[in-house]
Amino acid sequence: MSKRISKKKSKNSGGKKNTLVKETATAVEVEESVSTSQEAVSKSKTESAEEESIRITEMDMYLFGQATHYHIYEKMGAHETVIDGKKGIYFSVWAPKAMEVYLIGTFNNWNETSHPMTKLGEIGIYDIFVEEARIGDLYKFLIISESGDKLYKADPYANSAELRPGTASKVAEINRFHWTDSAWMKARETKNNFTGPMAIYEVHPGSWKKHIYRDDSDEDKFYNYRELAEHLTTYVKEMGYTHVELMGIAEHPFDGSWGYQVTGYYAPTSRYGTPEDFMYLVDYLHKNKIGVILDWVPAHFPRDAHGLSEFDGSCVYEYSDKRKGEHPDWGTKIFDYSKNEVKNFLIANALFWVEKFHVDGLRVDAVASMLYLDYGKQDGEWLPNEYGGNKNLEAIEFFKHMNSCLLGRNHGAIMIAEESTAWPAVTGRPEDDGLGFSLKWNMGWMHDFLDYMKLDPYFRKDNHNRMTFAMSYAYAENYILVLSHDEVVHLKCSMFNKMPGSYREEKLANLKAGYAFMFGHPGKKLLFMGQDFGQEREWSEKREIDWFLLEEPVHRQLHDFVKELLKLYNGNPCMYEMDTQVEGFEWINADDNFRSIFSFVRHSADGKNNLLFVCNFTPVEREDYRVGVPESGTYTLVLDSDEERFGGSGVKHRKTYKAEEQDCDNREYSIAYKLSAFGVAVFKF
């Protein structure tokens, strides 16, 4: 915000001055006066330009109607500015079918008629400048619909919101934060996310950790964003994760939705603090070389009266036909991707998080529900496209537009699709008819992996292909292997309780073998909070994860094992640099179903540092397990789950093994090793 410049009179310091001095002083004063006048004119012009730039113009409305106003959030919503020399807040809202729109808030004691808004054009944007409004004020739009109904709506473009159960928007300032992550942002521009490591820690901030109070009536025990910055960073660095993926950051009214039913797309939830507090969290993580990914929900929105649903009494943000505009199973509304203004709202929102809040990428929720018109619907509940098919052609175009724009403008950022079907080319280039995502959650691998791991080891031999099938399509997309929050809720049990076995040690041994297989398999990685130490209870947003389990040796041993896996992953490029290339992976034995043992190699690009994995998925110890190896030479044991610190027997195994010229697994050379029950051995060569 500009300030008026007032010229100060210069004063002599006292004593007699000769004429030359006086003339010189006069010349200096004239020069200073001219300089100051030029500065004042320049600042006046800047101030005038700022006053003009905040207002919605015909060009703004044109671009908005073309879905190409990528900074529309700088105009829509509520913004502090100076207009006609007066400081206040400029408000604007899109309500195309409204008969009238009024601004109500704390600045006018919620008076319903004192602040009518002005309709700017046929597109249906209304605006008003309120001199008496200030940062921190609560407000809503009172919209009079065509039928005469009064609708009290929160601002779709608001940058902050009242803490639930309140539903008002809050005027916020998001342009004053001092970022200190320039080194990270510059490095991101040249980053190759496909050949670099990516081990993601998925976090629900409200239940990662909570403050413990003696007064249990205090429901809000959340860590705020600034507290999270310190504690979360410490944990993530200690473990070795490269990224955090944050759930439920955009404002949402109901804790139990975990943030997947959004009412404030442009507002970091006030549960954990202010927008600047959230910026601090991102900045802090970046300074500690940790990437930040947000869950993002462009697939649907809730019916809450203050939200986007029937915003001006008509279907503004959602499809008007219920067969396209509603999810019967979820009870939510579906965005109308045929409307340019709606597409602009969403595309600009994706850019908002990446460019304004420095977020490194978005994980896009429920992509399949957007792509298929019949998703979750019975016959008669959905409307075919113009060709009679079940593909949402408008959503397809939306994805291509959004991904091309965001990734084109922000080199090094990532867009991740949670897409649960076999839709082709999700990570393909839009110019080749792909959707343009960077990465895709590998849901097929996840389902097969969990189906296998749940089995009693006796029956695993008959389901061996569940662990090998994913390699038949591993290079069809750029994949992330995920064990997310979705797998430990809704009576699905925790990862710990999915495992077979009647006692803790056996369940945790299964988890160690499973995690080792996951980290060795091609694809980036994601684990949900609590899974790295064997959380026993199913996850609930109402309580923090069970950190107390780390006080028990068996859970600490799993925790240490996962930490060692992450160390192995980050320290060996063969684990990630060729994830999308066939040459990066090689089965040694994919067919040892009778013993339920898998052996494979991860190759490095230069061929100099490779890893051999051997994973045993039965409680049977193999005293002298022989495995084929690709070549002669020395094989060094770099990870052994049988170490005492991981809960193993503690038997000391030698560290180096010379390949013997003995046929095994159709290989000329092999090594023999004592493989423990549910044992994992990783060798470098």
Q: Which residues are catalytic?
A: 365, 418
**Which residues have CB under 8 Å from 520's CB, separation 6+?**
575, 600, 602, 611, 613, 615, 682
**What is the greatest pairwise CA distance in the chain?**
108
Query: In this structure, what token pair is assigned to residue 364?
Result: 């896009």
Residue 272 and residue 223 in contact, taking contact as beta carbons nearer than 8 Å: yes
Q: Which residue has the tokens 């389901």?
A: 463
> What gap in Å lies between CA 274 and CA 267, rounded to an integer?
9
Q: Which residue has the tokens 């080792």?
A: 516
Give the HSE-up count for residue 467: Cα atoms under 13 Å, Cβ half-sphere.
31
Query: In this structure, what token pair is assigned to residue 248?
Result: 């439920």
> What gap in Å lies between CA 79 and CA 477, rounded to an integer?
42
> What gap in Å lies between CA 333 and CA 301, rounded to an integer?
5
**Which residues have CB under 8 Å from 414's CB, separation 6+?**
193, 293, 360, 361, 362, 438, 439
Kindly calculate the radius of gyration of the chain based on its CA atoms and give it in whole angstroms.
Answer: 30
In order of 76, 233, 394, 472, the CA distances from 590 in angstroms are 57, 39, 42, 12
DSSP 659: P
N-terminal to C-terminal alpha carbon distance within the chain? 62
**Which residues have CB under 8 Å from 22's CB, separation 6+?**
none
Instruction: Give the distance from CA 378 to its chain's centroid.
Output: 32
> What gap in Å lies between CA 289 and CA 279, rounded to an integer?
15
DSSP H or E segment with residue 616? strand 611-616
DSSP H or E segment with residue 480? strand 479-483
Residue 306 and residue 153 in contact, taking contact as beta carbons nearer than 8 Å: yes
